Chains A and B, each alone.
Chain A
Amino acid sequence: MPRLTFEPIDSACLLTEVQSARAGAVVLFLGTTREYTDGRRTVSLEYDCYRDMAQQKLEQLQAEACQKWSLVHCAIVHRLGDVDLGEVSVAVAVSAGHREAAFAAGKWLIDTIKEVVPIWKKENWHDGTSEWVHPGISE
């Protein structure tokens, strides 16, 4: 089951979760918190979510990916709360019979998570200001 957590994400543990003798390929995607965005410096990030809906959406996406690409295993974890620079904010790990399916499923999962799951990041900028990131809404 996908997880939403305030604790650091252990990516090695995720790999262990999805590895299997039935799989010939494992793909791990890690989203990490970046210091510079378009030349602006970030000091830390904060993540908020609509927890019940986010959990439900992640479960739906996981089930869809498992079915579409016949995955052996699939693990998804997203951080909440304060996340320091360079830390993992989201992790997607999938295993499949062959690499084509594993790469395709991993890419689709992270792309779709970023598009539909109700999670938001707040940039705390180096200049002391901060803002919630809402793509498509100007400041």
Chain B
Amino acid sequence: MSSKKSLDDRLSKRLPVWLAVAAALALLPGLRAPSYRAAVPLADFGRLPALGGGRIKPLDTVARTSLLELSGRQTLAGKDGSRAALEWLAEVSFDAPSADKENVFQIDDPDVLGVLDLRQGRRRLYSFNELKGDLALIQKQADEANQVRGSSRSRYQSAIISLQDKLELYQELENTLQLAGAGNIAFGYQYLEGKLLPALAEHFKHRHTDRTAMSELGQYVEQFQFLAKVAAFFPLPVRVSGQGLHWMSVGEASIDRLRTDSFHPGLIAYASMGDAWRSGDAAAFGKAVEDYRTWLAFHAPGPASWVSDEFVFNSFDPFFKASLLYLAAFLLVFASWLVYPKTLSRCAFALLAVAFVVHTAGLGTRIWLQGRPPVTNLYSSAVFVGWAAVLLGLFLERLTRRGLGTMVAAAIGAMTLVVALHLDNQGDTMEMMRAVLDSNFWLATHVTCITIGYSSTFLAGFLGVLYIAQERLAPQRLAESAATLERMVYGVVCFSTFFSFVGTILGGIWADQSWGRFWGWDPKENGALMIVLWNAAILHMLWGKMIGRRGLMVAVVFGNIVTALSWFGVNMLGIGLHSYGFMDKAFNWLVVFVAAQLLIMAAGLWPDEPDGVRP
């Protein structure tokens, strides 16, 4: 026993540090560009900038968010393993006939499948070729469904509208970088430059009209007008004096040639990339991308560099890596209760610290890329709730050093990041803010305070879960930690009362500033109010000695339910029973979460054995 203890002592000095260093080193390769299976070098293609959804982002992000919207996943599953979203985007852009065979359209709704005469089977993804024959039918059904106002649509109606939106997005993507299915694009531009445009000049200058050339030119212009109309994103920057960069679609830039002296270099580059992709010419593809990136570095240096950083952010995927590390830290604390308590709990703390650094780096990158405070939508709120809870947990661990803070922080960190990873299929997680939300001041104050309130209420709640679990499963462990846990929970409840209250009030002030109503009993406001009320109730029950230590723990577990409902439940209200897709699944998980908390509360309230000692 003594030798084991001394081994634990000896190991606890070095091992945690080595573990942290090893974890950090293991993360480093993630910063390199990922490898793709395509025949051509794609990484730099993914670093090209485009304006989409109101912001400038790398094509890699365009690819990921588009594929997510269509198929609910970020990779393309095929018979021979999965391929990256970027490869799929290149195929959609440059080789539409092949892309039409890929299974990317997610259709879950049995009624929609019925309308399309498809049998519901294991498969949830369908290809464009399978749906091509029914485009008019889907359009008609969706138009009819669109007559119904959003909140009163049936599940089928929402689903058919969603399918129509997906089909539109897909066909727009096919016609953004070039006309779907066209070949020899670069040659087309040469032909325009060498033959048709001189013919046009001739027409204006000398009244000499080459009728064939004019009609060919007319066809090209028609094509370009079509491309300009349907473009899903705008990949070509032009400097407009006094206004900064103006982003054009391929069609618009091609038509623009009629006013200017030469084609936009991006046009030629994308045309060559397309031709090289179709012929599998890796060298030509690489050269086209490289030349264009050189041009961009000179003519649009800002976007060219920050979209490149976003590309690294995407492929590093910090929140996924952090969630794995949190999970490892959680398991290590658990293991430390069985063997080598000192070493393993320190190792857990070390991993938690590394995970927190990765988490912070990810959060910081998002803030920097977006130029916004951390929380701008549901996805980022999940990331931030976890971050703030881990920060508080680390602080508690430094104060108490019993592994309790580490365990709870790791659990919340992992869970919130998993929630975030499931929330990101709503599309671009760095979407632009609608007008009323476009206020960095209020986002930074009100939203951040409210979210810290969520974090700390969850932290208290999970400490309560830990207490009840120990009491029921390992009562001898609880004897040492009960008083510490109680002090921690009390402190965190005070903290969250303060932040929830301040956040709620700031929200009222924002509401008063933007639509003249300090308090409008809006569902989201009410949700925040419930958290304040419940925390205040806990404090008054404690001060009035209406509850003891165990009552406090049960009460804070109930706080988990209140917080989860006001965080997610409120978002489900509007779409309620008619919701489709993600929110349905989220609703089921919410029910599971609430049920689990109720069970834990019941376990906490269950009477002790007659001879049992109530701590």
Please determine whether chains A and B interact with each other in the same assembly. Answer: no
